[in-house]
Amino acid sequence: MTDIIIFGLKQFAEQMDWLLKNSTDMRVRAFCADRAYVPSGSVWGGKMVVPFEDLENYFKPSECSILFCIGYTDMNRLRKRRMEEAIARGYSIAGYQHPTALIQADKIGYGNIFMENVVIGQGAEIGNGNVFWPAAHVAHHTHVGNYNFFTISVAVAGNIRIHDFCVFGANCTVKNGVEIKDGTLVGAGAYIAHATDEWSVYTPPRTYKLEGKNSLDFKL
């Protein structure tokens, strides 16, 4: 059994605590977060919460690994900083793969989270610290860099190069063969057909209300 400390005190951490309990032999010993967010003696999810800065006082690096449940805050750069701090202090970085995830990648780095029904195609390469939420699909021979976040039902085609610190909104699609540069933010439902610019934002046209129409007008 592997002992795990979860970094995070939000719904992402709550989800991962439940998934680890119900789909792995990993044991969550505690939660941790930056000291500013940890009141003295606090408990969350039925487990103690300790300041990340003082983690060695509670759990030595040889005793546990840390699973980082940090979302896309600061375009994933906060997750990178905390992971690198933990590594410098001697901790190993945990990852997670749900039993329903189909991972065929040729190369996978550390600290990745693959949730329910994620598909990673043959010949793909995955770097470090990426998060793939349920039903995200990355097709064959696509290279994913480090510290990216793929939300629900993202569809990434084959032979794509994704750099670092990108965020992909729910149900967005990326055409085959394009390059997604550092810090790209793709909005929910967007379609990316060409290479992006660094630290750029792409959104689809907004849905609008049909004025003068009632839903009962349509014979559904």
pLDDT digits (tens, 9 = 90+) for 32-90: 999 999 977 799 999 999 999 999 999 999 999 999 999 999 999 999 999 999 999 99
Q: Which amino acid is at 139?
A: A
Distance CA 111, CA 96 (A): 8
CA-based diameter of the chain, in Å? 66
Supply 184's token pair: 């790209």
User: Are 4 and 64 spatial neighbours (Cβ–Cβ below 8 Å)?
Assistant: yes
Rounded to two decimals, the pTM is 0.96
Return phi, psi of residue 14, to 5°: -65, -45
DSSP state of 37: G
